[in-house]
Structure 1
């Protein structure tokens, strides 16, 4: 069966197809999961026409209808898991960081969020037998925290662990980094990531991981005071849905790091709370809380998951990367 083009959809002419492609709707699947308002604004057509185009795309892509539980189970067999480097952490996550999902990791500064992100950027490039997905990585860096020399150390550590030779320069070539300078730029970079993923889709290293480090830094700096909270949350919601769409369309894992705030009025329990409120809490598939322990040890807690029980894992952050404590 030949792959359908956007022009094959009823109501989509060459001009409309060009506008859709410019906005990042490069495939029938991307159109199928869009909203009529979003598609209408992009292609400069009415919402009723956009709804007809979306329905046609859903039928063509065979998504959006009801399916039985065994069909869902069958589809979920294609989900990949990226090993973290720590056996206890992997077991808590049901085998590793899952594709087609958003995994959020939050904690205070220096707790190891960026270290976990760097480690996954290395591990995802390994073969499935070695704990990876044989794919490349896109990193949206909002706080200038990406360090190529750290990748080199982790690749060398992984080579020693596996007893094989690994070229860190090859690993760096498969990491695509973009620096986001504000929240608008950060949201637009997800569209650019979609374009890059489409380019690499048929290569030997398709994009299997998208990292946003950190998700909330720009939103926190730009939207100050309670009066701007509704606007911030609305924008954050749009951003998260863009990330979820990226995960679904590319069978990729999405890892977002998140900052915390302190609740001085909390008399019991841990006073640190993640930024982003309920919108982030509901949209993230897995929520992880990482905190410092003695020396190089870190404790990661699985706070929320649709299918896994709450749990804790202890790991160590060493020169070689994330390892068993």
Structure 2
């Protein structure tokens, strides 16, 4: 399979989306995935991480991945399920699962200060370790929160925004950042939907208020590609809301054992307010298939042990990934 590295893109293996983006997720800029909780942003990030770590002989970038997991949503079990179902011929090769797992480093900062330290250490070491993808899942979770009186607040984003953009330009690798959504209404102008523990995931329910990206307009200007993942009328959509390479276009998608897949490769062109609007229904989460528990796949799961770093302050990139 053709290796897209020299073309400056990480193919998503979603044919219609790759065509719209002229090859996939571009190098050297920030690509943002924005949408409500449970829509599939982390699923997308897991699949991209696998694609970046795949051997070049199988169409991957044959490199290391740094996955900054701010909400502890990274799942080795889910990643191996996606890998086994998407690339069975690769995972059947002796030692391949272990080799790919060794290329994925998961960092779990829990405070904005740790996140800042994490970014600085990443930049200091990026070019030394054959890094081919940086994922930050998610930005909004660290910079938003509530104060002692229960009021919503945001930490200053300016430094992080500038630094992450410089990371992308400096390293010339794809940088993928997820962004949550918040409801915008007169009664609760700064309510983040992902902070609402009262959501009932068993029954699809449309949010009453208009959804907007949790990080504001300055952040929107910093990203080069914005992909909105949304749900309406019982279907999931991924739409190219911002790109210099593509007109606004939407694709229906589903989540299965092999990750995200498009239902149709032909996109639906969009015009007017719907380009930037974010629709949200609470949909049932995709459950990890029971097949991951059979004896054949348990072997892969045991081999697929990624490195997770909990203490950012004491982390040495050279020791972990060397």
Alignment of 1:304-319 (within 5 A): 304-319=242-257
Map Cα deviations across residues 112-164 of structure 1 (whole Å, 9 max, x no partner). Answer: 00000000000112355644322210011110011111121122123237797
The SS at the match of 2:244 is coil
Q: Which is strand-richer, 1 or 2?
A: 2
| 1:124 aligned residue (43, 47, 52) | 52
Matched, 1:286 2:225: yes
Alignment of 1:51-70 (within 5 A): none
Matched, 1:218 2:152: no
- C-alpha deviation, 1:292, in angstroms: 3.1
Mean alpha-carbon deviation: is it higher for 135-144 or for 187-196? Answer: 187-196
**TM-score for the superposition, normalised by structure 2:** 0.66
Higher relative contact order (CA closer than 8 Å, sequence separation 6+): 2
8 Å CA contact 1:211, 1:254 repeated in 2: yes
Alignment of 1:132-171 (within 5 A): 132-160=60-88, 165=93, 167-171=96-100
Q: Which runs of 5+ in 1 are unaligned?
A: 1-76, 201-205
8 Å CA contact 1:209, 1:254 repeated in 2: yes
8 Å CA contact 2:54, 2:100 repeated in 1: no
Distance across 2 between alignment mates of 1:127 and 1:169: 13
Distance across 2 between alignment mates of 1:281 and 1:225: 24
Distance across 1 between alignment mates of 2:255 and 2:232: 11
8 Å CA contact 1:106, 1:289 repeated in 2: yes
Query: Over alpha carbons, which structure has the higher Rg?
Result: 1
Q: Which is helix-richer, 1 or 2?
A: 1
Q: Number of residues paired by the alignment? A: 236
Distance across 1 between alignment mates of 2:69 and 2:128: 21
Q: Which runs of 5+ in 2 are unaligned?
A: 190-207, 264-322
Q: Which residue of 1 aligns with 2:39?
A: 111
- C-alpha deviation, 1:271, in angstroms: 1.6
- C-alpha deviation, 1:192, in angstroms: 1.4
Change (3 A) 1:127 1:314: farther
Change (3 A) 1:294 1:208: farther
Distance across 2 between alignment mates of 1:275 and 1:159: 35
Distance across 2 between alignment mates of 1:208 and 1:222: 35
8 Å CA contact 2:46, 2:79 repeated in 1: yes
Matched, 1:193 2:88: no
